[in-house]
Structure 1
Amino acid sequence: MDMMNVKKWFPFVKALDYGHPCKLFCFHHAGGSAAIFKNWKTWERNLAVFPIELPGKSTRIKEQYMTNYHDVIPQIAEAIHQVTSQTRIYFYGHSMGAILAFKTACLLEEKYKKKVNLLIVAGRHAPQDDFPDDYQTTMDDSELIQELKRVGGTPNELLENEEVLQYILPIVKNDYRLNESFDYQDELFHGPILAHCGTNDPDALACNVKNWQVVTTNTFHLKEFSGSHFFPYENKQDYYKELEQSCQENTCHMSY
């Protein structure tokens, strides 16, 4: 993968960030894009934030979307491998992004012998637990709209605008197709995992999220935050500061 294609995966990253010794790679939720992490770029202090953009999303809207983990994970892993020489690597994944982050971290370990120093997963049950989404992509668009209302995070005025819906629903549905392609292959991650959950998340309460401890051979910690499924963005800069602190603590107490 040449550098021009590598940089497509990281559309909001500045040139100087590629040389930063500590990088936080961020994987978005279903229906999101790399832009959800743009505020984090303005708040970064001791890390370089690398929001990941999937083909077919936002800045890459003209590209073919990939609806299968087996296709997209190797490309993400290769792009990250290309920009992480002599780098401490941190992963953050929210909801669908938690699985993308987990799968990518495992592949980096297996194929590139590269360590992810801390995997932070938020708002998603553990990979080995089978909790199907209420919405499946075989259902009507009306069911998808109800699902978006249920989990929150999308303003009602957008969900009631037919023109907007014609644009966003196919994009969101592609993310759900990608999520449905996930199959757990008994992977184990060998670095530490930090799991976050919202106190009012209907799909990923602490009792569901705690099972991430089963998929690491290293340390595991769980922390609850006030909020819904989208608690990371509801807590804004306070949440990002918490992430930076967790990564700094990991640097000071290396266990991997």
Structure 2
Amino acid sequence: MQSPWFMRFNRDPQAKLRLFCFPYAGGSAGVFKPWRNAFAGVDVVAVQLPGRGSRVAEKPLESMAEIVARLIDELRGFRDLPFVFFGHSFGSLVCFELARELQRRGIDGLRHIILSGRRAPHLPRVHPNTHDLPYDEFIEELRSINGTPEEMLTNKELMSLFVPILRADFKVNETHQYRADIKLKSAASIFRGRLDTDVPEAEVQAWRANFESGDIEFTEFSGDHFFIHSQQQLVLERV
């Protein structure tokens, strides 16, 4: 099984389950490389969207519909095992919409979905769009999120490569149109950083409205929006 959309870290022929990991905005599949040996008997696969990592020469996608449609096609060769989705922030929205499209098409295999660091998608937006801000204002927005190192933010040559990817991901996130046509049947877990002021607990708990089952676990971690890095070991234990 080979696809530019997926990076496989541990090709375990004895694996009984596949974990698909969806990175935050601007993130590459490499975000999840430290997870490669964390789970015995699990094939860890990270999603690599166009424009980053090994696909840096490709144009980033700006439509959730296109991202989901392409991922559906690419998943065909990876459905030999039952699977779990884990998404953080923007990645939560991507894997959620992918899971819903799989269910609409009657494609089985999803056993669990873990939604981390994002408010529920059916809630109305409360913040203005940022994907189309002038460059300097966009950089300040990134600085406020606290997910990009300062030495990177001040390197204009490097940011000239990174900003288009972030703008594209932010656009997908900010222009996403939620459809209330289906509730997921799978079990779910919801993660949040206790200091993440942009993702209040009530807005994370609101994910529950998108599932048929009450089998949903909520876990809060120390740290801000990027607790999946600062609290990595605890996150892996919960996953």
Match of 2:238 in 1: 242
**1:168 Cα offset (Å):** 1.4
Mapped to 1, the partners of 2:49 and 2:43 lie a distance apart of 19
Match of 2:59 in 1: 64
Aligned to 1:114, which of 89, 108, 111? Answer: 108
Mapped to 2, the partners of 1:150 and 1:165 lie a distance apart of 16
Match of 2:166 in 1: 172
Secondary structure at 2:217 match in 1 = strand
Aligned to 1:125, which of 119, 132, 137? Answer: 119
Match of 2:226 in 1: 230
Match of 1:25 in 2: 20
Match of 2:176 in 1: 182
Match of 1:154 in 2: 148
The structure whose residues are more often helix, as a share, is 1
Mapped to 1, the partners of 2:4 and 2:94 lie a distance apart of 17
Mapped to 2, the partners of 1:147 and 1:115 lie a distance apart of 38
- Contact (CA 8 Å) 1:11, 1:59: kept in 2 or not? no
Q: Aligned Cα RMSD in Å?
A: 1.8
Instruction: Identify the range of structure 1 (202-211 vs 95-104) with the bigger mean alpha-carbon deviation.
Output: 202-211
Letter in 2 for 1:188: K
Change over 3 Å in CA distance of 1:132–1:142 after alignment to 2: farther
Secondary structure at 1:50 match in 2 = strand
Change over 3 Å in CA distance of 1:221–1:167 after alignment to 2: same
**1:53 Cα offset (Å):** 0.3
**1:135 Cα offset (Å):** 4.7
Mapped to 1, the partners of 2:212 and 2:109 lie a distance apart of 13
Mapped to 1, the partners of 2:106 and 2:140 lie a distance apart of 42
Mapped to 2, the partners of 1:62 and 1:182 lie a distance apart of 25
Mapped to 1, the partners of 2:140 and 2:231 lie a distance apart of 25
**1:77 Cα offset (Å):** 2.1
TM score, norm. by length of structure 1: 0.86
Secondary structure at 1:43 match in 2 = coil
Structure 2 regions of 5+ residues with no counterpart? none
Letter in 2 for 1:193: A
- Contact (CA 8 Å) 1:199, 1:227: kept in 2 or not? yes
Letter in 2 for 1:68: S
Mapped to 2, the partners of 1:236 and 1:27 lie a distance apart of 15
- Contact (CA 8 Å) 2:189, 2:218: kept in 1 or not? yes
Mapped to 1, the partners of 2:193 and 2:122 lie a distance apart of 20
Secondary structure at 1:101 match in 2 = helix
- Contact (CA 8 Å) 1:67, 1:181: kept in 2 or not? no
Mapped to 2, the partners of 1:49 and 1:232 lie a distance apart of 16
Structure 1 regions of 5+ residues with no counterpart? 244-256
**1:75 Cα offset (Å):** 1.4
